Amino acid sequence: MTPGPEAASTFIIVAALLGALIGWALGPIAGRTLRPPREIGSRARWLMVLATAVLFALTVWLVGISPALPAFLVFAAAAVVLGAVDVIEKRLPDAVVLPALVATTLLLAITAAVTGDWASLLGAVLGAAALFALYFLLALISPGGIGMGDVKLAALVGLVLGSVGWAAWLGGALAGFVVGGVVSLLALLMRRVSLRGSLPFGPSMLAGAYLAILLSAVIDAP
């Protein structure tokens, strides 16, 4: 995947503005998935607005105005909600992960039908299955470190990374653990968590995915 030349600054700005509007709307959605359902704080909601704007702009820059763009925008929106809920409650709700997985798969299938690039769809499906299997194995080995929410999120992350390519898939899989390790180390140094404490891993998985996609785009750029 290379940044589309058609994704000029105007489209990126429009994407950022659209992302900000959608990010504001995602606040109540995140609140409804909390236990019990409640409104998220204003600070968290504005952070969601900023995160969605940035991810939408980044997505348009990376993907361009292409048939694959809707699938990646759905992933971006889901990433914001899941990241927020995981930070607040250390939980990745099925009510967000599963619909996002289905919607992204369908949109990637439509992309393959439009472009004829069925290999990319196959890579996406295999990537989802492979990363799901890896995290499921890790959850069996260390249930205290990897939860089933992380396992289900792995299918969504693997789907998107697999559609980009196996280099991005491997990079994203590794980057998630690297980001998680760095975050944990910083939290320990800042005394935000003890050695026996735990941190939400979903945001690290998602950050790792975006780092891998970004690196793949930079490497592939002419």
Q: Retrieve residue 216's tokens.
A: 């793949």
The predicted structure's pLDDT at residue 222? 63
Match 């996609």 to its residue by tokens. 213
Asked if residues 49 and 173 have their Cβ atoms less than 8 Å apart, the reply is no
The predicted structure's pLDDT at residue 3? 47
The predicted structure's pLDDT at residue 6? 47
DSSP at 146: S
Task: Write out the DSSP string of 70-116.
Answer: HHHHHHHHHHHHHHHHHHHHS---HHHHHHHHHHHHHHHHHHHHHH-
The predicted structure's pLDDT at residue 143? 81
The mean pLDDT of the chain is 92
The predicted structure's pLDDT at residue 2? 45
What dihedral do alpha carbons 161, 162, 163, 165 form, nearest 10°? 90
Q: What average pLDDT does this structure show over 120-142?
A: 96
Q: Retrieve residue 75's tokens.
A: 């992933």
Match 């898939």 to its residue by tokens. 169
Q: What average pLDDT does this structure show over 152-165?
A: 97
Q: What average pLDDT does this structure show over 175-203?
A: 83
Q: What average pLDDT does this structure show over 124-150?
A: 94
Q: Retrieve residue 30's tokens.
A: 């995140």
What are the pLDDT digits (tens) for 3-43? 444 446 889 999 999 999 999 999 999 999 999 999 999 99
pTM for the full predicted model: 0.93
Match 């002419």 to its residue by tokens. 222
pLDDT-based confidence at residue 195 (cuts at 50, 70, 90): low
- Would you say residue 161 has pLDDT above 60? yes
The predicted structure's pLDDT at residue 142? 85
Any residues with CB less than 8 A from the CB of 113 and at least 6 apart, and which? Answer: none
The predicted structure's pLDDT at residue 84? 97
Q: Classify residue 119 by burial, with Cβ atoms within 10 Å: 0-12, 13-18, 19+.
A: exposed
The predicted structure's pLDDT at residue 197? 61
The predicted structure's pLDDT at residue 196? 64
The predicted structure's pLDDT at residue 218? 79
